[in-house]
Structure 1
């Protein structure tokens, strides 16, 4: 009798774990209404789900299909009251990654991001502040805090209309010296930003403002 009861408890725990995992997966990466522009010019409207590796699963009344950078050009996701735009860009010469479009100014400067939550790329979401004294980098190169996971936007930028972007950093508190080095390198053609950096408290979370300033005051028209 005791054995049967133990087996029932174990089975219940296993089922609870499976249900919990499934629920978290659906909550963390659900389908949303979306519009896809394929590289052959075709436009698809239906529902799409972005996977952590940047591939896109699409479904409508007639089909279910998966896309990546080889056949998908741009993606619009309708999330609550917002329309979120995505495109593929090349990072450090590797295969293109799906990036969220934050700001695009043709022939000037562009800002993109990937949203990281619980050590996974989720693409849709908002970052939350963390204690900079608790930050660390794990063996996979993912930033964590207090032994847990980090929620943050990982920023990428480029100038002009090229397909390759460079990583600027995360929108989280970080040592100011490192932030200055990154900004000095990328915005070296904008002395105004470099001067402001010396006399201000700019942080990584201010990157969108720096990009806006560069577009208005430094970028070639």
Structure 2
């Protein structure tokens, strides 16, 4: 019973953090491409998948910002193209516990034509970035929210590394990190698997990044 309760709390805790930036107005600091820095309340709109993977190329996502100093009633909408980075200061009460966390979100690119897909949480920064984002899918009259993990190299296309893939993780990861022979060997020997994505990205940035 104790183990079941702990698992339930963990899942609820993770879901809270995944969705907080999308559901609620949250204290935020926004860095625009223009050089302007905005402070106030903000939230993200959520991408909706069209029938699952892959995402629709015309999916839109925005950052909604409110200037709390002037008590702005109607939010200002910013596209990913206008934003360099946004920091959210989360202060949540989960199962009676007060939890604080700062998260950073950056815009990511869907394809080589440089069309922006939307915002993603920055998990690991470096030559290769690991980012995560929430996606909703409405099917069978049910709303499903799931988390995507993506890898971003410089300003190129963000590559999705989900738990369910058409190609094997080993093959895709070996292709993506083909410029790092020592890492490819570890992937092929299964020293790094899908669950080790953070360790894999850290290894590349520490040992192979130029």
Flag the 1:26–1:84 CA change in 2: closer, same or farther, 3 A.
closer
Q: Which runs of 5+ in 2 are unaligned?
A: 1-18, 47-59, 92-99
Q: Which has the larger radius of gyration?
A: 1
Distance 2:36 2:167 in 1: 47
Q: Contact (CA 8 Å) 1:168, 1:182: kept in 2 or not?
A: no
Partner of 1:103: 124
Q: Contact (CA 8 Å) 2:22, 2:45: kept in 1 or not?
A: no
Instruction: Give the alignment of 1:1-221 within 5 angstroms.
Output: 29-52=23-46, 53-59=60-66, 60-62=68-70, 63=72, 64-80=75-91, 81-92=100-111, 93-96=113-116, 97-105=118-126, 108-116=127-135, 118-119=136-137, 149=144, 151-158=146-153, 162-170=154-162, 172=163, 174=164, 178-200=168-190, 202-220=192-210
Alignment partner of 1:61: what SS? coil
Moved over 3 A (4+): 25-28, 147-150, 174-177
Distance 1:204 1:176 in 2: 14
Deviations 1:126-146 (A, max 9, x none): xxxxxxxxxxxx8xxxxxxxx
TM-score (norm 2): 0.66
TM-score (norm 1): 0.63
Deviation at 1:198, TM superposition (A): 2.5
Q: Contact (CA 8 Å) 1:157, 1:168: kept in 2 or not?
A: no
Deviation at 1:77, TM superposition (A): 0.7
Name the count of aligned residue pairs. Answer: 164
RMSD of aligned Cα (Å): 3.0
Q: Which runs of 5+ in 1 are unaligned?
A: 1-24, 121-137, 139-146
Flag the 1:180–1:99 CA change in 2: closer, same or farther, 3 A.
same
Q: Contact (CA 8 Å) 2:131, 2:152: kept in 1 or not?
A: yes
Flag the 1:197–1:26 CA change in 2: closer, same or farther, 3 A.
closer
Deviation at 1:151, TM superposition (A): 2.5
Alignment partner of 1:165: what SS? coil
Flag the 1:48–1:191 CA change in 2: closer, same or farther, 3 A.
same
